[in-house]
Amino acid sequence: MTTTEAPTAAAPESGSEIDADKLMEFVFRAVDEVGATLNTALVVMGDKLGYYHDLAAHGPSTPAQLAERTNTAMPYAREWLNAQAAGSYVTYDPATGRYTLPPEQTVALTVEDSPVFLPGFFQSALGTVHASEHIVEAARNGSGFGWHEHNEDVHLGVERFFRPNYNAHLITEWLPALDGVVEKLERGALVADVGCGHGASTILLAQHFPNSTFVGSDYHEASIETARARAEAAGVADRVEFRVESAQTFTGSGYDLVAMFDSLHDMGDPVGAAKRVRQAIDADGTWMIVEPMAGDRVEDNLNPVGRAFYGFSTLLCTPTSLAQDVGLALGTQAGPARIRDVTTAGGFTGFRSAAETPFNRVFEARP
């Protein structure tokens, strides 16, 4: 057999015939997947070592130049650049031995306020797979693995990925799509951001609506500590309070707006959270639910975005839910119908899809 010929494959016990060409097509696709898996760590490496920013600033570079400017070892810079070139993240010029970060990749890999900024996505994925051995065991015994048990790459990466989308869409698109919410915020509203994490969404709201008061809550104490520090740094700590509270027990009442950003599907008891929102919200209040983009049917989500979110759902979001009381495990790709069911069970009568992006869908629930 030559190196270009497909190996002879035995048919499965079912008796179906193996198509050798399809088999080898799958094998080479799997090889590409292994390269992509390793590239997750390489993107995070390039982000943390400043390789992408350096290439963006200096243009075509040799491995020695990149290593010298970033104060890193040349063999690592060389192999990293070659891996990036093989994956078309950078281009390589054989005539000069130099590597270039194209302008499109520069935006996606270095511009943190761009809605297509990607290193946070890779960072959260890398942190998520670090816990894979725990998830394997949890799958065997039906237990969960809590958000607080994951490493910092998960917590920081999730924020770094979603924050640019919030910055790009929340003020200009999502809030105006809700009935009367912008006017209330401009006059002065009481707002709860439940499951706020590091407080990126809460702080963004506070910066744009100085007449309103905001309360962010999350069960993860370390995230709340980070949120408090960031509110101070942003100069909004006088109008933003962060509390360590669960979604089912967050305090306060008469809220004009309750927001949940990419957090409802992670909750063990989302129906309990919905009931608490119904108790805490004003009679004319709005519950804004921002969830990952998903359709109601599995086949709706069999696309690149759905694939990534199903991966996160298996390794991060579902285990997080199962680690909590009830453990409903909605999953990252719950879809509008299941989200509606949660709001209805919580006592809300109004529900609609108000806005969407390639990565998020925004729902409005009313009492």
> Angle between the 336-345 and 270-280 helix axes, to the nearest 10 degrees?
60
**Which of 83, 106, 129 is the endpoint of a domain?**
106
> pLDDT-based confidence at 36, cuts 50/70/90?
confident
97 and 144 inside one domain: no
Q: Is the pLDDT reported for residue 103 higher than 80?
A: yes
Q: Is the pLDDT reported for residue 2 higher than 70?
A: no
CB of 87 within 8 A of CB of 35? yes
Which pLDDT score is estimated for 303?
A: 95
Instruction: Return the C-alpha torsion angle 193, 195, 197, 198, nearest 10.
Output: 10
> Angle between the 20-49 and 51-58 helix axes, to the nearest 10 degrees?
80
Q: pLDDT tens across 314-361, in order?
A: 999 999 999 999 999 999 999 999 999 999 999 999 999 999 999 999
CA-angle at 146, arms to 287 and 264, nearest 5°: 15
Neighbours of 253 (CB within 10 A): 10
Going by DSSP bridges, is the β-strand pair 190-194/213-218 parallel, antiparallel, or unpaired? Answer: parallel
Residue closest to 109 by CA, chosen among 92, 128, 88, 82? 88
147 and 234 inside one domain: yes
How far is Cα 84 from Cα 42, in angstroms, rounded to an integer?
Answer: 8
> pLDDT-based confidence at 4, cuts 50/70/90?
very low
CB of 55 within 8 A of CB of 99? yes
- On whether residue 12 sits in a domain, the answer given is no
Residue closest to 309 by CA, chosen among 321, 326, 291, 324? 291
DSSP conformational letter for 346 = T
In this structure, what CATH number is given to the domain that contains residue 148? 3.40.50.150
88 and 147 inside one domain: no
- On whether residue 71 sits in a domain, the answer given is yes
How far is Cα 319 from Cα 136, in angstroms, rounded to an integer?
Answer: 10
Question: What is the residue-averaged pLDDT of the chain?
Answer: 94
Q: For a pLDDT cut of 90, what percent of the chain falls above it?
A: 90
264, amino acid identity: L
Which pLDDT score is estimated for 32?
A: 86
123 and 102 inside one domain: no
Q: pLDDT tens across 150-190, in order?
A: 999 999 999 999 999 999 999 999 999 999 999 999 999 99
Q: Is the pLDDT reported for residue 139 higher than 70?
A: yes
Segment 153-156 long-range contacts (CB within 8 Å, at least 24 positions apart)? 153/44, 153/123, 153/124, 153/126, 153/127, 154/124, 154/127, 154/128, 154/316, 155/127, 155/197, 155/198, 155/220, 155/222, 155/223, 156/120, 156/123, 156/124, 156/198
Within its chain, how far is the Cα of 278 from the centroid? 27
211 and 67 inside one domain: no
Which pLDDT score is estimated for 10?
A: 53
Segment 97-105 long-range contacts (CB within 8 Å, at least 24 positions apart)? 97/62, 98/60, 98/61, 98/62, 99/55, 99/60, 99/61, 99/62, 99/63, 99/66, 100/55, 100/59, 100/60, 100/61, 101/52, 101/55, 101/56, 105/52
What residue spans of 214-280 are helical by DSSP H? 221-234, 270-280
249 and 181 inside one domain: yes
Neighbours of 27 (CB within 10 A): 12
> pLDDT-based confidence at 15, cuts 50/70/90?
low
Domain count of the chain?
2
132 and 25 inside one domain: no
Which is it for the CA torsion 186, 189, 192, 197, positive or negative?
A: positive
> Angle between the 74-86 and 63-70 helix axes, to the nearest 10 degrees?
120
Which pLDDT score is estimated for 212?
A: 98
Largest CA distance in the chain: 77
In this structure, what CATH number is given to the domain that contains residue 57? 1.10.10.10
**Which of 85, 106, 127 is the endpoint of a domain?**
106
Q: pLDDT tens across 197-214, in order?
A: 999 999 999 999 999 999
How far is Cα 209 from Cα 204, in angstroms, rounded to an integer?
Answer: 9
Cα→Cα distances 226→159, 221, 261, Å: 11, 9, 17
- On whether residue 13 sits in a domain, the answer given is no
CB-count exposure of residue 13 (10 Å: 0-12, 13-18, 19+): exposed
Which pLDDT score is estimated for 16?
A: 77
How far is Cα 330 from Cα 266, in angstroms, rounded to an integer?
Answer: 7
Which pLDDT score is estimated for 126?
A: 95
66 and 98 inside one domain: yes
Q: Print the domain residue range for 73.
A: 20-106
Taken as a whole, the chain contains a residue count of 367
> pLDDT-based confidence at 266, cuts 50/70/90?
very high
